[in-house]
Amino acid sequence: MIETDGKLVRMTIAGMSCDHCVRTVRKAIESVPGVRSASVDLASGRAEVRVIPGWVDEQGLRSAVSQAGYEGEIEASSGEVPAAADTADASDEDSAGSGDDSEGPPPRPSPANASAPLPPVVSIGSMPGADRAGEAPDLPVGAGEPRELAISGMHCASCVARVERALSGVPGVSEARVNLATERARVVVDPSRFDEQALRLAVSEAGYDARPVEDDADPSRAAERMRRDREGRVAYWRRRLIVGLVLVSPLVVLGLGPMLLGGAWAQARWIGWAMLLPATVLQVYLGGPYLAGAIDRLRHGSTNMDTLVALGTSTAFGYSVYHLAVGDHEGTHFFMDAGIILTLITLGSFLEARSRGAAGQAIERLLDLAPKTARVVRPGGREEDVPLADVALGDVVRVRPGESIPVDGEVIEGESDVDESMLTGESLPVTKRPGDTVVGGSRNAEGTILVRATRLGKDSALQQIVELVREAQGSKAGVQRLADRIASVFVPTVLVIALITLLGWGLGSGSWRAGVLNAAAVLIISCPCALGLATPVAVAVATGRGARAGLLVRDASAFERMDRIGAVVLDKTGTVTEGKPTVSDVILHGSLDRDRLLLLAGAAERGSEHPVAHALSAFADGREIAVDGFRAVRGGGVSASVDGRMVLVGSAAFLEGRGIAVPDVDAGGVGRTVVHVAVDGALAGSIVLADAPKPHSREAIDTLRRQGIEVFLLTGDDPSPARAVAEAVGIPPHHVFARVLPDEKASKVAALRMAEGGRARRVAMVGDGINDAPALAAADVGIALGTGTDVAKAAADVVIATGDLRGVPRALALGRATLRAIRQNLFWAFFYNAVGIPVAALGLFGAYGPMVAALAMSLSSVTVVTRARLINLSPI
pLDDT per position as a tens digit, 558-576: 888 888 899 999 988 888 9
**C-alpha to C-alpha distance for 423 and 750, rounded to whole angstroms:** 33
Displacement of CA 281 from its chain's centroid (Å): 45
pLDDT of residue 248: 87
Does the structure show a pLDDT above 50 at 72?
yes
Q: For residues 370 and 259, which has the higher predicted lDDT (pLDDT)?
A: 370
- Name the percent of the chain in helix, strand, coil, to the closest 5: 50, 20, 30
Greatest Cα pair distance, the chain, in angstroms, is 121
Partners of residue 399 on adjacent β-strands: 449
pLDDT band at 657 (very low <50, low <70, confident <90, very high): confident
Residue 657: count of CB within 10 angstroms of its CB: 13
**The pairing of beta strand 184-189 with beta strand 145-152:** antiparallel
pLDDT of residue 333: 63
pLDDT band at 598 (very low <50, low <70, confident <90, very high): very high
**C-alpha to C-alpha distance for 406 and 781, rounded to whole angstroms:** 34
Low-confidence winner among 94-98, 558-562, 625-629, 678-682 (lowest mean pLDDT): 94-98
Does the structure show a pLDDT above 80 at 272?
no
CA torsion, ordered 749, 750, 753, 755, to nearest 10 deg: -90
Question: Average pLDDT over the chain, rounded to whole?
Answer: 77
**C-alpha to C-alpha distance for 838 and 832, rounded to whole angstroms:** 10
Q: For residues 78 and 693, which has the higher predicted lDDT (pLDDT)?
A: 693
pLDDT of residue 582: 85
**C-alpha to C-alpha distance for 659 and 564, rounded to whole angstroms:** 48
State whether residue 7 is helix, strand or coil. Answer: coil
CATH classification code of 145-214: 3.30.70.100
Does the structure show a pLDDT above 70 at 843?
yes
What are the two backbone dihedrals, phi and then psi, of residue 138, each rounded to the nearest 5 degrees? -65, 145
What is the DSSP track for 88-110? --THHHHT---SSTT-SSPPPS-
State whether residue 315 is helix, strand or coil. Answer: helix
Helix runs in 300-400, H state only:
305-325, 334-359, 362-368
Given its phi and psi angles, is residue 739 left (phi above 0), alpha (psi -120 to 50 degrees) or beta? Answer: left
pLDDT of residue 53: 60
pLDDT band at 276 (very low <50, low <70, confident <90, very high): confident
| pLDDT tens-place string over residues 305-354 | 777 778 878 877 887 787 788 776 665 566 777 788 788 778 877 876 77
Domain ranges of the chain: 7-74, 145-214, 219-372, 551-576+694-815, 577-693
pLDDT band at 68 (very low <50, low <70, confident <90, very high): confident
571 part of the active site: yes
Highest mean pLDDT among 35-49, 254-268, 724-738, 778-792: 724-738
Does the structure show a pLDDT above 80 at 761?
yes
Does the structure show a pLDDT above 70 at 423?
no
Q: For residues 3 and 439, which has the higher predicted lDDT (pLDDT)?
A: 439
The strand order across the sheet containing 627-633 reads: 582-588, 682-690, 672-679, 645-650, 637-642, 627-633
CATH classification code of 551-576+694-815: 3.40.50.1000
Q: Do domains 7-74 and 145-214 have the same CATH topology?
A: yes
pLDDT of residue 479: 66
Residues 6+ apart with CB under 8 A from 43: none
For helices 196-205 and 157-168, what crossing angle results, to 10°? 140
The strand order across the sheet containing 145-152 reads: 173-179, 184-189, 145-152, 209-212
Does the structure show a pLDDT above 60 at 381?
yes
Low-confidence winner among 396-400, 530-534, 622-626 (lowest mean pLDDT): 530-534
Q: Give the containing element (helix H, strand E) for 273.
A: helix 270-285
**C-alpha to C-alpha distance for 193 and 173, rounded to whole angstroms:** 9
Average pLDDT over residues 1-20: 63
pLDDT of residue 763: 92
Q: Which of 368, 484, 555, 571 is catalytic?
A: 571
Residue 551: count of CB within 10 angstroms of its CB: 28
CATH number of this structure's domain 7-74, picked from the four choices 3.30.70.100, 1.20.1250.20, 3.20.20.80, 3.60.15.10: 3.30.70.100
pLDDT of residue 337: 74
Please give the class, per CATH, of domain 577-693.
alpha beta
Q: For residues 497 and 739, which has the higher predicted lDDT (pLDDT)?
A: 497
The percentage of the chain sitting over the pLDDT mark of 70, rounded to a whole number, equals 76
pLDDT of residue 765: 92
Average pLDDT over residues 707-732: 88
